[in-house]
Amino acid sequence: MRSTSPHQPSKMRHTAKDWDDIRGAFSMSIMVDTPLASLAQNLEGPEWPIKDKKETPAVYIDLTFAEAYEALVAKGQPMERFDQLVDILKETLAFDNPFGDMVAQSAVATERDNPLLKNMARLEIPEEYPIEFTALQENTLEFCSLEKLGTLGQFAVFAQGLSQAVIVGGDFRGLLNALSHVDEPALAKYLPFRPGKKGLHLIEAVALIVRTLTPEQRAILISKPAQLSPVTRDRVARLVAYFMDQKAELVAQIAGGSSLARSLVVIGDPSIEAAVSALLTPHLKSVAVPPPVARAAGEPKKSGKGWFSRLFSRS
């Protein structure tokens, strides 16, 4: 990287030396290509006003002090924006540095001493549950991906290793607090968890997807399921594959005479139940129709509808 100019505008908190120090350190961070707006949101400080995904630390850290300042001015930003940029990079490094120390911990000791993993075991929440299937916001999921946190267990180990000085915010903190305090209603906001029950559930997992849709999108999903986006269709298919045992239970219940709608009443919101039904229905059609039961001689033929027609009826 190039040397900076010693000159700087007055009334700025950070010096040219501060900038050289922070940009040199940040050049090795895995967060170098993360949008500054996302970094600022995770730190719960002032928002970074430029929302472009290409507005990352990488845009600035190879610039000298004067060049970085001038780049912000050219984007219509005030003098204090440079100080905010330095603050974001410094605080992100403080958040990032403990992670490497954490990885060196003994896996056995972590299992034994981690209260988050203990709480998950009590609630029968599987450690291997994919983070991508949670209701965490996109920027938090991006952060987890960068840190290679693919499962809830890895999230718990990661969070346990954070320095006490690190302040985390947003829904990262929300899920962390919910697991720490066994707050079941809060857990249900992020995980397919059913308060009062244990484990994770397919129905709630699909409901989490539906809750991210607008009322208009839900209406289209119910009336014109063929217009479902491929991304959502793929996500539901992967959820059904993960919860294969629960899918089999649903199919067995329906084959036994229960309706899908009856299983969905646990959601407690008819509009969401209808959309969840539309998403699950294609995955419940592949069950073989049970063979007809032979009637005794002279026994009248039953007039009720078969199990397949009951599959999508409301109880």
Q: What is the pLDDT of residues 53-101, one digit of tens each?
A: 899 999 999 999 999 999 999 999 998 999 999 999 988 887 655 444 4
What pLDDT score does 240 carry? 95
For residue 301, tell me if it sits in a domain. no
> Both 208 and 283 in a single domain?
yes
C-alpha distances in Å from residue 151, one per residue of 22, 89, 97: 31, 27, 21
For residue 169, tell me if it sits in a domain. yes
What pLDDT score does 71 carry? 94
For residue 11, tell me if it sits in a domain. no
> Both 184 and 165 in a single domain?
yes
For residue 300, tell me if it sits in a domain. no
> Both 183 and 214 in a single domain?
no
What pLDDT score does 119 carry? 93
> Both 129 and 180 in a single domain?
yes
For residue 293, tell me if it sits in a domain. no
> Both 165 and 113 in a single domain?
yes
User: How many domains does the chain fold into?
Assistant: 3
* Burial degree of 81 (CB within 10 A; 0-12, 13-18, 19+): middle
Helix (H, G, I), strand (E, B) or coil at 130: strand
Going by C-alpha positions, the residue among 129, 116, 126 that lies closest to residue 181 is 116
Query: Can you give the residue range of the structural domain that contains 249?
Result: 202-287+306-310
Residues of the chain with pLDDT under 70: 1-11, 95-113, 162-169, 286-315
* Burial degree of 241 (CB within 10 A; 0-12, 13-18, 19+): exposed
Cα 302 from chain centroid (whole Å): 49
For residue 255, tell me if it sits in a domain. yes
What pLDDT score does 225 carry? 85
What are φ and ψ of residue 153, in 5° steps?
-65, -40
Global pTM exceeds 0.95: no
> Both 111 and 182 in a single domain?
yes
Domain final residue, candidates 63, 97, 131: 97
